[in-house]
Homo-oligomer: A and B are copies of this chain.
């Protein structure tokens, strides 16, 4: 059977750049999160809510990836944080080189939280390290409970699963216990937060998670003798 062919040199080159990015994020105390999901699971809406609810003392920035259009960057730019679109022109994932290029001119020391919205795809982005601290998988309740079993790669690598669009639960045949069970079968330690960007349900839990992680990152950077911003 034919396997996907990602050439090893391509992955090696990606890993070299990702490692460089990770070192830079550690030094600057920037928490970098890589959000991965299917198209239409609500990543951009979740980011909109996140920017809206973010405490003023957290200096955030967003890189948002798409094959075409800068719709997402325009949506996100309204919240007053720096946002850049990465248009991949057909590529099915972001890679570390694209991230590094699009960070040019942004002083990392002034960014506490870097949110990367990957291209909508549950498969390919999984293989490309972007130097992030954490991968987050976003799954909407309209997509079915079987997705962790069918796309195990991303559920294995993600520390957190955000189960989005829970306001639609009354209208879809989706058993929330089953998706939790399936996710934990693939990744027993995965954290799970349930959200709805329509009703606001679960957003406070997500913001608390984010706040704790951002602070923790800063503390670590501070311990390493780097200037902190809280």
Contact = CB atoms under 8 A, between A and B. Distances in A.
B71 A149 contact: yes
6 contacts: A1-B97, A4-B88, A38-B120, A67-B151, A119-B123, A120-B122
Nearest to A152: B68
Contact of A2 (B2, B71, B91): B91
A95 interface: yes
Q: How many of these chains are in the complex?
A: 2
Interface string A122-142: 111000000000000000101
Interface string A1-21: 111111100100000000000
The 9 closest A-B pairs by CB, nearest first: A40-B143, A92-B123, A4-B91, A142-B142, A38-B38, A38-B39, A40-B144, A2-B97, A69-B149
A147 B104 CA distance: 29
A171 to B, nearest CB: 5
Contacts of A143: 38-40
